[in-house]
Each structure stands twice: as C-alpha cells, then as structure tokens.
Amino acid sequence: MKNHYFRAATDYHDAAQAIVAQFSSPEDPRIVTMPSLCGKDSRCGAAHAAVMLRPDLEDLIVQEFNVEAGSANCIEILRLKKLTCVECVQLVGQFLDDFLVDEKKIAQDIWWKEMKE
C-alpha cells in the first residue's frame, strides 16, 4: 500500500509520522511530537507509530513485523537490507489495514448473528 505522506515533497514526514498521518489524520498533533528516525527502544518508526495507534495489538504488530522485516529494531533492519524504510511503512500500513478489515468483519458477524436471534 502506498503511503502518500512518507517523504512527500510538499510536507515531509518520516516513517512514524507517515503512519499517524495515514491512519489518524494529517493534522494529528502527535505528528509533531513523534520521535525522529527510530522510535521507542530503537524500534522502527513505522512499527512504533502502529503500536502507538493500536496499543491493544502491540504484541501482534511487533511479532508480524519481526517475521517480515527480520527485526523490529530500525538499525538492525537497515543492516539486514531485507526491507527499505519505504517498504517498512508499506508493511505497517498493510498490517493496520488488515487489522481494521478483520475488526469490521468480526463486528459484522456479531451483528448478523444477533439479528438472526
């Protein structure tokens, strides 16, 4: 998934800021307070932002990110050369999209089941 906010020519955002802009709002005040480059414990900024937006899914986000990127540590990801920063932002964007779709489906299934009863 393309993130239109990541390193945009008109309004530069790093990985963390791009995720917040895409899944919250480009005007979200957290964007200006996001840590530059790496997040908490040197975690990839994109993964850090995803956890910040969805703390209830932290374990799942970090686990999936480790599988796909080889690590959640920004410096280690760059050293492994498995994913670029752009690809990390795309990966996290896809995770969040998938989680939102799953939640909507679960809510629909619950609603449908209740309607049948």
Tell me: pLDDT of 10 over 70. Answer: no
Domains held by the chain: number: 1
CA 100 – CA 81 distance, rounded (Å) = 29
Give 77-107 pLDDT, tens digit per residue: 999 999 998 899 999 999 898 887 666 565 5
Tell me, yes or no, whether 7 lies in a domain: no
Q: Provide the pLDDT confidence category of residue 9 given band limits of 50, 70 and 90.
A: very low
Tell me, yes or no, whether 30 lies in a domain: yes
> Domain limits at 52?
15-116
Tell me, yes or no, whether 6 lies in a domain: no
CA 23 – CA 42 distance, rounded (Å) = 22
Tell me, yes or no, whether 31 lies in a domain: yes
Tell me, yes or no, whether 44 lies in a domain: yes
Tell me if residue 87 falls in helix, strand or coil. helix
Tell me, yes or no, whether 83 lies in a domain: yes
Tell me, yes or no, whether 81 lies in a domain: yes
Token readout for 5 is 């906010």
Specify the pTM.
0.74
